[in-house]
Amino acid sequence: MLLKTLFHLLGAIQFCYGCYYDAVYVNIPGSAAPTLGGKLKYLTYLDAIVQSIYFTIAFLNDLFGNNESTLSEKPLIRRIKDILFCALAYPVAMFVGISFWGIYAVDRELILPRSLDPYFPTWLNHVMHTNIVIFVLIELISSFRMYPTRKSAMTILSTFFLAYFIWVHVIYFKTDKWVYPILAVLNWPIRIVFYLFCLGFVSSLYFLGEKLNRIVWSKEVERTVKSGKKKAK
């Protein structure tokens, strides 16, 4: 229990500091990136905020909530923690990490041009794009959560991504610059296909997380379901 609490505290401190450092000390010249939206134009930064919120809530839940695998007497902070991890923290972190390093391996100029290296330190890059994956995977295997209904989780996840796609285009139409260089090399039909692929990919990551949770925590899931049926009777 103590190790889990310290892990959540480390995650909260790490991602909060990463967001703070990025916002205060990483100043990219306007010629290198559109200024509208500030850091909030990047999915990486939005995800880091999500991770900061999640690990802070997880830490507070360790102190004041309940980590038991039961539906009864489940405090509000625990319910928020569970749905936040399932619907956003896990799938978005996996999406950001996999897509970033995947594109980086093909051509880093499409995702993080070398011209930005003087402004974006390597350690921060790993906090934002590597540690997010490591921490949510450790969280998945070290803390039990009961997944919400697919409808509610997918509604939250889809709304988050659709809102971000709209936000990216608002920035483009206001500044005539794409947030990510990769979008500039795609024509509109291919760009739409790219967005649909991203939405499908992050959805598959959600289902993968749900399946992994069921495998890792099979006994707890079964116990929770039985507890819920007894309570319903």
Q: Which amino acid is it at 30?
A: G
- Rounded to whole angstroms, what are the CA distances from 6 to 20, 96, 197? 21, 25, 37
- Rounded to whole angstroms, what are the CA distances from 233 to 63, 147, 222, 228? 32, 22, 17, 9
pTM of the entire predicted model: 0.90
pLDDT tens per residue across span 78-112: 999 999 999 999 999 999 999 999 989 998 888 88
Please give the biggest Cα pair distance in the chain: 64
Residue holding tokens 């539906």?
71
- How many C-beta neighbours within 10 Å does residue 105 have? 9
Q: What are the domain boundaries of the chain?
A: 2-232
pLDDT tens per residue across span 112-160: 888 888 899 999 999 999 999 999 999 999 988 889 999 999 999 999 9
